[in-house]
Amino acid sequence: MSDDEESKKSRTKYKDLIATLPKEERLTPDLDLYEYQGFWFPYCYLESIMSVQEQFKAQSTDIVLCSYPKTGTTWLKALTFAISTRNGFGDNHPLLTNMPHECVPFLEVDFVHHDDTTYNRDPQLPLLATHLPYTSLPKSIIESKGCKIIYIWRDPKDTLVSLWHFLIKLIGKGVCFEKEFDQFCQGKSSYGSFWDHVLGFWKASLENSEKVLFLKYEDMKKDNNLFYVRRLAEFMNQPFSEEEEDKGVPQKIMELCSFGNLSGLEVNKTGKHRADTGLGINNNAYFRKGEIGDWKNHLTREMAEAMDRISEEKFGTCVLWP
């Protein structure tokens, strides 16, 4: 059987499986959700998710950036990419002319067979990103001894608000906040339950802290950012040398990747991510406020209390909450 025939056979298999899954209709057919492996996934990515689970082969040097949507993914990509490439570009860094999502490939899109070809990986840049929950990651990522995972999460209330604004940018007006709130609390958002998603990676980090680095967005924003720049570099096996520290390299990376700097760049104000595909999104949709506590401007007291109760029930007395 030729590669093309094998690819068509696999796609037919995935489509047949998707047709049997529980479905929740959303704002557009591409965003319709299907329950798979205990989580809800958008239709536009589900076939690719099934494909990478079977086909993706992790390298021992891979660093996988994991997150639930709208929890700090863009910032984490920028920081890790800047750390990895700090000696290669000088004043002409790619982040000045490319938005972070263009610099770090997305597992659910870029590592899938397309017309008998596979994504051409840069051996000098082992970064890749995904929104997949821990239990849905390709086995090669979990089982690879050298492969590392960096996970970022944030307050679910701010996550919901950020997701709602993103959907408005993506689809336009008509995205009902109350409905998004209900769906989010039920775990029927893209990539499923926020709380289960977080818990999966938190438990994995407890089991193997050398493989999984677990970060909280609020901690990175509140505390000395340089601590986390250095922590990321160390975890990635790329610690800063004394000479780099003397030259202020960590500070320069922090400044380059700051929300104020990235959001003010022309590429992030007017550019478009994946402009040549059906998944094109204006870059400015990824840069709204980057603030902590903006949920107070959107959620009623009853909504906030309801979400806090879910967090208490899901997280219990573990260090994740409050």
Active site residues: 131
Distance of CA 224 to the CA centre of its chain: 23
Q: Using CA atoms, how far apart are residues 264 and 259, in angstroms rounded to an integer? A: 8
For residues 61 and 51, the answer to whether their CB atoms sit within 8 Å is no
Beta strands in 114-156, from DSSP E residues, in sequence order? 127-130, 148-153
**Residues whose CB falls within 8 Å of the CB of residue 50, separated by 6 or more in sequence, listed in order:** 14, 17, 36
Neighbours of 179 (CB within 10 A): 12
Q: Is 65 helix (H, G, I), strand (E, B) or coil?
A: strand
Please give the DSSP secondary-structure letter assigned to residue 20: T
In Å, how far are 87, 224, 261 from 231, measured between CA atoms? 18, 11, 22
Helix (H, G, I), strand (E, B) or coil at 239: coil
| Contact call for residues 117 and 182 (beta carbons, < 8 A) | no
Which element (helix H / strand E) includes 215? strand 212-216
**What is the rounded (10 degree) CA torsion for 304, 310, 314, 317?**
60
Residue 235 makes CB contacts below 8 A (sequence gap 6+) with 148, 150, 213
Measured CA to CA, the distance from residue 132 to residue 127 in angstroms comes to: 15
- Separation between Cα atoms, residue 209 and residue 205, nearest integer Å: 5
Tell me the CA distances in angstroms from 82 to 7, 71, 103, 288, one per residue in order.
36, 19, 10, 21
